[in-house]
Amino acid sequence: MRSAMTSAELATSEPRVAVAAPASTVVRPAAAGRENSAVDTARPTTDHRGPTGGFRRDIEGMRAVAVALVVAYHAKVPLFGGGYVGVDVFYVISGFVVTTVLLREFANTGSVSILGFYARRARRLLPAAMVVLSATLIASWWWLPLQLQWIATQAVASVAYCVNFLLARNSVDYLDSMRRESPLEHYWSLAVEEQFYLCWPLLLIVLLLWARRRRAAGPMAGGHAGLPVVLGVVGTLAGASFMLGVWLTAHSPGYAYFGSPARAWELLAGALLALGLPTVARIPARLAAGLTWVGLAAVVAAALLFDGATRFPGYAALLPVAGTALVIAAGSVPHTGGAVGLLGRTPLQWTGRLSYSWYLWHWPFLVIGAALLGGTAIPWQNLALVAGALLAAVVTYRLVEDPLRRARVLAVRPWRTIGLAAVASAAAVAVAVSAVLVRPTVAGTGAPVDTAAVLSASTDVERDLRRLVAASVAAPAVPANLTPPLPQVTADIPTVFQDGCVVLKITDTGTDHPCGYGDPTAAHTVVLFGDSHAGSWFPALRELVTARGWRLIVMVKGFCSAASVRFRLDSVNRPYDECVQWRDRALDRIRELRPAMVVTSSTNYTFGDPVGVFTDRDQVWADGWAGTVAELRSHGSQVVFIGDVPWLPPTVVDCLAVHLDDARTCHGAVDDVVLEPRRRQLTADAVAGHGVLVVDPTPWFCTTTVCPALVGNVVTLRDGNHISATYSRLLWRVLDERIGRLGA
């Protein structure tokens, strides 16, 4: 996902078609008794040659531009932080091409065969999509066995073309939004298009039939007003969708990005172009040539200027959509000297032809490849992976996509295509179900180690823990007695996240969630305060307060740092004001409780920059922490500040599953995974100046050079940056040693 988001996030290309020219196009009737399949069998001939139409090499070239931007973005190629706009390019092209096809059929036969339309869509999109989906499921069975349940769920949702709404729903829930990237997430854009295809032909037919009746009724009925009214209706729908997208971008970015209602205007923009071709044809040739360059520059500029912090789609999507529309519109006019010459070059035509298959393959290659490479891939490795995906696309295009699209045995009988589509979809679902029912065995073969026994018997817990960490750096194989077993590690979440005591919804600002643990009549109360990284310390702290006979109150909100800083949350592309409101209310509640101790912690790696003008981002965060602890200390509470944990790759557990015989592949260098070292030091100094006990947990996870993925027989971080509940629980004694008699 683009950020998450998803991070990613792409669009599917549309069929290669011969698009009619705008003016007085001659349409020959289909041969009696068979479907007119000219749109699916058109071959590239020459550049646009006038009113009789021709293969649109500029559109094929724009497909190449779109897929290249998307692939570059996901491969983390520098400068292309806004490469996700390739999805918008594809959508405009799709709306234009599909509407042109429908208009041509209506002009040809007086109606549109809905069955024939869906058969063409299925023949064009389904074969390659189901092949890649099934292959990805099989590859995931081998290399991402711990994600099979989630990947299979996405596979079924992809077959049903509703995976976009699954991802939109997950984006507003903290635990779901923190899932690892799935190799099938990119099917969301295909779902958006299919939902559009389901509705648009029916609406267009109704509008066209209405317009024809108006023309037949004669001037007295306003017959010549039919087309303007059709354009008005479609334009109104596009405008409503656009405004919905703008509103959702501000209030529910996940639904704005993944939801078809908020994206429909981009496809309708292409549809409006197709409906208005006679008017577009009047553009002067010299102006048309210039407009193609302006449009192409707008698309490229969006890819270079936008990034993860851009509020997208929202108003920003106008730039790539308008740019694509300009290229298509101006390319409909015969001219020389425009961008059509560039877009028509052989490399772009070849890439455009493969764009759909390359789009389908590139994301599984990147996600699964990263797991095989130890959890992350550097840019040159990503480029190698997407090159491999391009090779797979060539094979898929030649053996699956193109032959089935051209198969006359399917084209002449739409029901055959529908039947084949049903069988292919059912087969993909069967693969998904089988992958879940027959899971591979994932167990280490290394010598057993009992981390819990070592620490419970220790008389110097921190010393012995550091020895375990050092031994784990050198140990090759995953221990045979891993606790919990690898398939259960990602679900090893502290109970506080599951019992309603943590604010998980991004938009929730309430403080009625705090829960109490331990002795409710205890003389001493401890408050755990912060974001999900603070919540990860709950098992350790619960053991500690139980041993001391204290009471524990939890005040935790996902993504919400305890530091008094107003910051942007990249995943929602706006200031995270809900965090500010929740934090202020939580501080008020803590003031009322007057606890003996407040234990606070938050991620050191924020999901967006502070709001406002600043010259030193790190200092802003250090000052924010100083403000928070000053407030906590003002009512007499002792404060313990626990620094952030290392950040291993989010696929660290998948890496261990793939490298059972050499866990060292999954370890991280301290310099790479202990993030924001300057901010860490500034923050520690700032809070220590207010009499706060600073606890740096790094030695409990790392040596001076390496942070192992596991310590003894316990995985430390269940998702790369949240402590597993089991490991957190084992750390209670070392945390108790650090706290000493503070607050007693």
Residue 302, pLDDT score: 97
Confidence band (pLDDT; 50, 70, 90) for 226? low
Whether the Cβ atoms of residue 179 and residue 146 lie closer than 8 Å to each other: no
Q: Which of 680, 608, 617 is CA-nearest to residue 646?
A: 680
Of 25-34, 260-269, 366-375, least confident by mean pLDDT is: 25-34
Enumerate long-range contacts of 466-472, CB under 8 Å, 24 or more apart.
Answer: 466/699, 466/700, 466/703, 468/711, 468/712, 469/699, 469/700, 469/701, 469/702, 469/703, 469/708, 469/711, 470/703, 471/712, 472/708, 472/710, 472/711, 472/712
Whether the Cβ atoms of residue 175 and residue 497 lie closer than 8 Å to each other: yes
Q: Which of 339, 235, 229 is CA-nearest to residue 288?
A: 339
Pairwise CA distance, residues 18 & 57, whole Å: 9
Residue 39, pLDDT score: 30
Q: Per-residue pLDDT for 234 more than 90?
A: yes
The residue with greater pLDDT, 22 or 688, is 688
Residue 179, pLDDT score: 59
Residue 121, pLDDT score: 85
Confidence band (pLDDT; 50, 70, 90) for 520? confident
Of 300-304, 402-406, 553-557, least confident by mean pLDDT is: 402-406
Average pLDDT over residues 711-736: 96
Label each residue of 174-202 as H, E or C.
HHHHCCCCCCCHHHHHHHHHHHHHHHHHH
Whether the Cβ atoms of residue 16 and residue 78 lie closer than 8 Å to each other: no
What tokens does 60 get? 């094929």
The dihedral through the CA atoms of 471, 474, 477, 483 has a sign that is positive
Give the residue carrying structure tokens 């006019």.
333
Instruction: Please give the C-alpha separations between residue 418 and each of 169, 424, 534, 739, in angstroms, as whole numbers.
Output: 30, 10, 53, 68
Residue type, position 431, single letter: V
Backbone dihedral angles phi then psi of residue 384, each to the nearest 5 degrees: -65, -40
Count H helices, E strands: the chain? 32, 16
Pairwise CA distance, residues 177 & 648, whole Å: 18
Residue 222, pLDDT score: 39
Residue 224, pLDDT score: 43
What tokens does 53 get? 């139409």
Of 97-101, 124-128, 425-429, 737-741, least confident by mean pLDDT is: 737-741
Whether the Cβ atoms of residue 690 and residue 703 lie closer than 8 Å to each other: no
pLDDT (tens digit, 9 = 90+) per residue, 50-65?
333 568 999 999 999 9
Chain-centroid distance, C-alpha 15? 25
Q: Per-residue pLDDT for 36 more than 80?
A: no
Residues with Cβ within 8 Å of 55's Cβ and at least 6 positions away in sequence, in order, are: 16, 17, 18, 19, 42, 43, 44, 45, 46
- The count of other CB atoms within 10 Å of the CB of residue 605 is 12
Pairwise CA distance, residues 638 & 522, whole Å: 17
Average pLDDT over residues 377-405: 92
Residue 51, pLDDT score: 34
Q: Could you give the angle at the alpha carbon of 106 between the alpha carbons of 100 and 107, nearest 5°? A: 90
Average pLDDT over residues 134-147: 93
Instruction: Please give the C-alpha separations between residue 347 and each of 41, 115, 350, 400, 478, in angstroms, as whole numbers.
Output: 21, 35, 5, 22, 47
Residue 9, pLDDT score: 33
The dihedral through the CA atoms of 626, 630, 631, 632 has a sign that is positive
pLDDT (tens digit, 9 = 90+) per residue, 572-590?
778 899 999 999 999 999 9
- Return residue ranges of the chain for CATH 3.40.50.1110: 451-739
Pairwise CA distance, residues 190 & 14, whole Å: 10
Whether the Cβ atoms of residue 641 and residue 695 lie closer than 8 Å to each other: yes
Residue 741, pLDDT score: 61
What tokens does 673 get? 């995974």
Average pLDDT over residues 354-368: 96
Pairwise CA distance, residues 60 & 495, whole Å: 53
List the CATH code of the domain at 451-739: 3.40.50.1110
Pairwise CA distance, residues 273 & 576, whole Å: 38
Average pLDDT over residues 72-99: 95
- Please, what is the average pLDDT of the chain? 87
Q: Which of 367, 349, 368, 358 is CA-nearest to residue 389?
A: 358
Secondary structure class of 23 (helix, strand, coil):
coil
Residue 414: beta bridge partners?
none
pLDDT (tens digit, 9 = 90+) per residue, 631-684?
999 989 999 999 999 999 888 898 899 899 999 999 999 999 999 999 999 999
> Where do runs of H (alpha helix) occur along 308-439?
318-331, 340-343, 346-372, 379-396, 402-406, 408-411, 414-437
Backbone dihedral angles phi then psi of residue 684, each to the nearest 5 degrees: -60, -45
Residue type, position 556, single letter: V
The helix, strand and coil proportions of the chain, stated in percent and rounded to the nearest 5, come to: 60, 10, 30
Residue 29, pLDDT score: 29
